[in-house]
Amino acid sequence: MDGIPLLFKYTVPDKLYEKFWEGLKKGEIYTTKCKKCGTLYYPPRKDCEKCMSSDMEWVKLSNEGILMTYSIVKQKPQGFENYSDYIVGIARNSDGVNLMCWVKGEAKVGKKVRLTTDGQRVICEVIE
């Protein structure tokens, strides 16, 4: 049975998130931090849900972390059918922020990772 093709086009919705996308292109990961209460938000947000402030600032996240969990993707979603099996995971960086990432290297929960980007998405490279 053939599936119905789904097409998605990702665009930057407004200038607010431009710093995030530009950071990814440079291999850096940015997020927002509430100036009032100090809460970090990843992915970036316009407003703080903790204290209801809209006074946010951009901060560069640490690139050191630990792999918390991962999954080997064998059944690919649309657009990834031609990829070989790949691994996605959640890494917690040294700032305490959980980031979804593509895992490169031998995945094992608890291993140290270096967080970087490929210009479009977050990559965590197993370093241990």
pLDDT single digits (tens) 29-82 = 999 999 999 999 999 999 999 999 999 999 999 999 999 999 999 998 888 888
| pLDDT for position 1 | 46
Characterize 18-45 residue by residue with b for buried, 16 or more Cβ atoms within 10 angstroms of its Cβ, and e for exposed: ebbeebbeeebbbbbbbeeeeebbbebb
CB 40 within 8 A of CB 48: no
CB 53 within 8 A of CB 36: yes
Its pTM stands at 0.81
- Which CATH code for domain 62-127? 2.40.50.840
| pLDDT for position 101 | 95
| pLDDT for position 15 | 78
Domain boundaries, the chain: 9-60, 62-127
Nearest-angstrom CA–CA distance, 65 and 78 = 30
Mention every residue, 6+ apart, whose C-beta is less than 8 A from residue 77: none
